[in-house]
Amino acid sequence: MQAILNAIEEGTLDAEIVMVLSDIPDAYILKRAAQAGLPAELINCRGHRSKFPVEAQSETAELLKKAGVELVCLAGFMRLLRAPLLNAFPGRIINIHPSLLPEFPGLYAWTQAVEAGARESGCTVHYVDAGMDTGPVIAQARVPILPGDTSASLHARIQAEEHRIYPAAITEVAAELGQE
């Protein structure tokens, strides 16, 4: 979120953040939103540690619609979306993932890459569908896996690329939505 906010402030991304949501009560993104004067809400997942209940998805979809959201940009949201949200924003939900999809979907992709002995990794911005990191790719950035890399060192380099390509991908998607 900070990279998106920075790009907006620098004038390299013509967008407005109208709402910040998190499913984690003490998530730093909520603090960042407050510091930036942005409306922020907590998604109530009703005690589910990993699932995103249908009722919560319906409530979230309504909250986003009322706020006038045109494009939903996920970052660090570790729950699968289903019909209530996907249907409310068809082709208008994107995500950033720390691997070169379709390789290493799911959690800790940078660790998966190091443990698999991959020569490169990177990040992917993709449209969100009902699968785990399976939607169509919008943009990717490659990062070499260097001798002696740890999960942490690779993850840091991937994050630098994420901060670069996510705002650019948002610009691309927003332009496509504006042509419809």
97 is an active site residue: yes
Closest CA to 105 of 93, 83, 121: 121
Tell me the CA distances in angstroms from 126 to 46, 54, 67, 89, 116, one per residue in order.
28, 22, 23, 14, 23
Strand partners, 95: 74, 126
CA pseudo-torsion sign 100, 105, 110, 113: negative
Residue linked to tokens 């002995």:
117
Catalytic residue among 97, 126, 155, 163: 97
HEC readout, 14-37: CCCCCCEEECCCCCHHHHHHHHCC
Catalytic residues: 97
